[in-house]
Amino acid sequence: MLTEVKRQTITDRVSLPRLYLGWLSPRLYAPGDAALDVASSVLAGGKNSRLYKRLVYEEQVAQDVTAYQSSAALGSSFMVVATARQGKSIEQIQKAIDEEIDRLRTQPPDAREVERALNQIEASFYRRMERVGGFYGKSEQLNAYYFSGGGPDFFAEDLARYSSLSPSDIQAAIMRWLPRDRRVELIVQPEVKP
């Protein structure tokens, strides 16, 4: 369990600096898991998302930004990853990310933001069910339901985990699972060439 901020800076053979923010989050199908999927979409799910609009379009400090709930059977992680533009600082990016997450802690997302996220998630559900095999196909999904104890017919219940969410549920999950004082902060800087 994280009890504080763990911060590390490393260098690597990369051309641009990158920021990784990570939190421990609820396991797959546990309360909060679906809400954090929606939160990731509100934050960085497409060009109309909060972080993408602010960091990439408006302030032009980031080349890209993503957020995702990486759900697993025993425990999960919630990640926000941003790549700086040439000449822009990681500090600017982290400040903006923290401000946007703080906004969601104090005020729930708009209903239209949640609706857009839910539409994307539902469309993804149906696309997965169209493919029979392979990674994220119907067979993989049915196996995941069977393995988790929901049974292969868990599809409707799984989808209901999302469709029943309200903006205040998203806010509560962010407050509970994304505390500012208990996370991992990793900065990857380009190696300095001699």
Q: Which pTM was predicted?
A: 0.91
Question: 46 — alpha (psi -120 to 50), left (phi > 0) or beta?
Answer: left
The domain segmentation of the chain, as residue ranges, is 6-190
Question: Tokens standing for 145?
Answer: 């339901």
pLDDT band at 138 (very low <50, low <70, confident <90, very high): low
Question: Tokens standing for 169?
Answer: 């549920």
Please tell me the predicted confidence (pLDDT) of residue 154.
Answer: 79
Out of 12-21, 127-136, 185-194, least confident range: 127-136
Q: What is the mean pLDDT of residues 18-38?
A: 96
**Would strands 6-12 and 76-84 be described as parallel, antiparallel, or unpaired?**
unpaired
User: What's the pLDDT tens digit per position in 77-134?
Assistant: 999 999 999 999 999 999 999 999 999 999 999 999 999 999 999 888 777 767 655 5
User: What's the pLDDT tens digit per position in 63-76?
Assistant: 999 999 999 888 99
CATH 3.40.367.20 fits 6-190, yes or no: no
The alpha carbon of residue 38 and the mean position of all alpha carbons in its chain are separated, in whole angstroms, by 8
pLDDT at 169 over 60: yes
